[in-house]
């Protein structure tokens, strides 16, 4: 196998930030990202996802450690204070 060790960064945030976060992620050098609709609960309360302003999105980005650190640093700086945001990373083997 030609599997390469990479980092998977998962970001959960407010649905209305989708376009903004997608731009940030690409500008910081990601080769791509995947988005899924989500809902949930956290320190900002319940987000039922039953109306436009009330849902979350989940971004998954596969990249090298530096890219992920850059994205994490940028989102922490700009969005963490004011928006619901959760970010976590884990090692993955890219298979293609």
Partner 1 sequence: MAFEPVVLFFLLGAVAGLLRSDLKIPSSIYDALSIFLLLAIGLKGGVKLAEHPIGEMVLPGIAIIIAGALIPLLAFPVLRYFGRMSRPDSASIAAHYGSVSVVTFSVGVTFLGQKMESFEGYMIVFLVFLEMPALIIGALLARYGQGEVRWGKMLHEVFFGKSIFLLAGGLLIGYIAGPEGIKPLDLLFFDLFKGVLALFLLEMGLVAASRMADLRTYGPVLVGFAIVMPLLSAVLGTALGWMLGLSVGGTLLLSTLYASASYIAAPAAMRIAVPEANPALSIGASLGVTFPFNIFIGIPIYYWMATLVSTTGA
**Nearest to a copy of itself of 43, 53 (CB atom):** 43
Q: Nearest 5°: phi and psi at 23?
A: -65, -45
In the complex, minimum distance from the CB of residue 44 to a copy of itself, in angstroms, rounded to a whole number? 9
Cβ–Cβ < 8 Å for 14, 24: no
Cβ–Cβ < 8 Å for 85, 13: yes
Q: Distance between CA atoms of 6 and 66, rounded to whole angstroms?
A: 10
User: Residue 55 interacts with ligand AMP (CB under 6 A)?
Assistant: no
> Which one of residues 27, 29, 41, 66 is an interface residue with a copy of itself (CB under 8 A)?
41
Residues lying near a copy of itself in the complex (CB under 8 A) are found at: 1, 3, 6, 8-10, 12, 22, 26, 31-43, 56, 58, 62, 69, 72, 75-76, 80, 85-96
């Amino acid at each position: 196998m030609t599997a390469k060790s990479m980092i998977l960064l998962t970001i959960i945030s407010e649905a209305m930030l989708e376009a903004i976060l997608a731009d940030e992620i690409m500008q910081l050098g990601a080769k791509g990202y995947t988005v899924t609709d989500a809902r949930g609960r956290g320190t900002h309360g319940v987000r039922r996802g039953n109306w436009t302003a009330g849902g979350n999105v989940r971004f998954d980005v596969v990249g090298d450690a530096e890219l992920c650190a850059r994205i994490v640093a940028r989102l922490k700086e700009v969005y963490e204070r004011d928006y619901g945001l959760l970010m976590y990373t884990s090692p993955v083997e890219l298979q293609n």
